[in-house]
Amino acid sequence: MRESMQAVRGMNDLLPGDTAAWAALEQAARETFAEYGYREIRLPVLERTELFRRSIGEYTDIVEKEMYTFSDRGGDSVTLRPEATAGIVRACLTNGLLHNQRQKLWLVGPMFRYERPQKGRYRQFHQIDVEALGFEGPDVDAELILISARLWRRLGLGGLTLNLNSLGTPESRAVYRERLVEYFRKCEAALDEDSRRRLGGNPLRILDSKNPAMRELIAGAPLITDFLDDQSAEHFAGLRSRLDDAGVAYAINPRLVRGLDYYSRTVFEWTTGDLGSQDAVCSGGRYDGLVAQLGGDPVPAIGWALGEERIVELLRLQGRAAAEPAMDVYLVLAGAAAERLGTGIGEALRDCAPGLRVEANSGGGSFKSQMKRADKSGARVAVIVGDDEVARRVATLKSLREDVPQRQVPLEQLPDELVRVLRAPERGRE
Ligand code: ATP
Ligand code: MG
């Protein structure tokens, strides 16, 4: 037996039946971003490894164990992007987009992380990402969150919780970090292996631990919100009051630190109770130090990313996933002469009524099997052309969903007639 080719583990094929829901999500995001003046950017999926090492941070899951890194044929170390922000900042610097300018940008595309594949967690996954560079906030912090909230409304999604926290500045965080290390050192024996390693490198990440055994220890740890500097506290209050004004509910979560090193001040995460343990559908935060860290002049910035796989799954669970649209018309072409005429009929229909979904029967077949295909296509109307119709320059219109008699229409009147028939509300399907 021949062995069939397999896809790479953790990388999914999106089949035709799935793509309508994805397209609808991306279209809703595109429209929402446009309404706020955010512009699309498209970037390579491959970047120099150094970019992610310098931006995401050595002691993060991503850099420690999740990157797809390899040497290209010229010997350069390159990495498939695990997230979008670093590449966007890189592109802004490479192209001078931050010289006396500010940018509101969005990007959609695949990301790659070598994680253990499970429901809601894949090795190739897809994000929709939005970033505002050059804005100090907190007005823009609120705007970014409002964009996400509007997107959920547009998609008809419910049951999402907004978790909010402030990480302060690198200076205030350093003070907190010392206290945190002090606290965890006292109970070092109770820490799991990951946490012990993080204690030396990035102790805040311990708060991010998904190990239930660590929960109690973490619950007793000092709170970052008690260490905020005055300006960060004011910034955080400014964000909260804007969200209050806009009627966006949130939960302050002082344990929310986010996995990436580059965050400062505002961090947030939208979670759901519907997806099990992979409960974060959209996460983001402010990264005021990152542009300078990557060699630019300091520029404050903030962004978020949503995981398309998780949002699509949630849409499905909530009965909001867009379905693949059915055909409108199926051309049944019986006999060689009808087949030849069929191409022209199809083109004329699409010319007269752009957007009309017309499937012409391909590859012959008996009248009966063509009628079966017509039914399966979901079309409301079959246009039947056989020898008799060719001779008389007419087509037979047969409704596939309603019990109305079939009738013949002269070919030159066919487009108008079909548009009229299809525009009428369908009986029995509403
Ligand atoms: P998690 O805590 O679930 O690992 P994360 O903090 O690593 O998430 P981010 O780096 O903030 O996630 O990415 C933003 C969003 O991308 C997440 O909220 C999630 O919806 C999605 N996401 C992240 N990693 C994956 C993955 N491996 N597979 C599918 N979606 C993912
Ligand atoms: Mg992760």
Distance 68 CA to ligand 2 centre (A): 14
| Region 160-178 average pLDDT | 93
- Band of pLDDT at residue 426, cut at 50, 70 and 90: low
Arithmetic mean of pLDDT over the chain = 93
The pLDDT of residue 1:
65
For the chain, how many residues are written?
430
What share of the chain in percent tops pLDDT 70?
A: 98
| Region 387-415 average pLDDT | 94
The pLDDT of residue 3:
83
- Mean pLDDT is lowest, of 24-33, 60-69, 73-82, 140-149, for 60-69
- Band of pLDDT at residue 424, cut at 50, 70 and 90: confident
Return the ligand number nearest the Cα of 118.
1
Ligand 1 atom at minimal distance to the Cα of residue 260: 10
Ligand 1 atom at minimal distance to the Cα of residue 304: 14
The pLDDT of residue 428:
45
The pLDDT of residue 140:
98
| Region 293-317 average pLDDT | 97
Return the ligand number nearest the Cα of 64.
2
The pLDDT of residue 430:
37
The pLDDT of residue 427:
55
Ligand 1 atom at minimal distance to the Cα of residue 306: 15
Query: Could you tell me if the CB of 278 is within 6 A of ligand 1?
Result: yes
Tens of pLDDT, residues 71-110: 999 999 999 999 999 999 999 999 999 999 999 999 999 9
Q: Among 14, 310, 311, 313, which is best to mutate for testing ligand 1, by the most ligand atoms less than 8 A from CB? A: 310
Tens of pLDDT, residues 228-276: 999 999 999 999 999 999 999 999 998 898 766 678 999 999 999 999 9
- How far, in Å, CA of 170 to CA of 265, rounded? 9
Distance 263 CA to ligand 1 centre (A): 16
CB distance 250 to 271 below 8 Å: no
| Region 2-25 average pLDDT | 94
CB distance 113 to 62 below 8 Å: yes
The pLDDT of residue 273:
95
Atom 10, ligand 1: residue with shortest CA distance? 83
Ligand 1 atom at minimal distance to the Cα of residue 61: 7
Tens of pLDDT, residues 188-237: 888 998 888 888 888 888 888 888 888 889 989 999 989 999 999 999 99
Query: Could you tell me if the CB of 80 is within 6 A of ligand 1?
Result: no
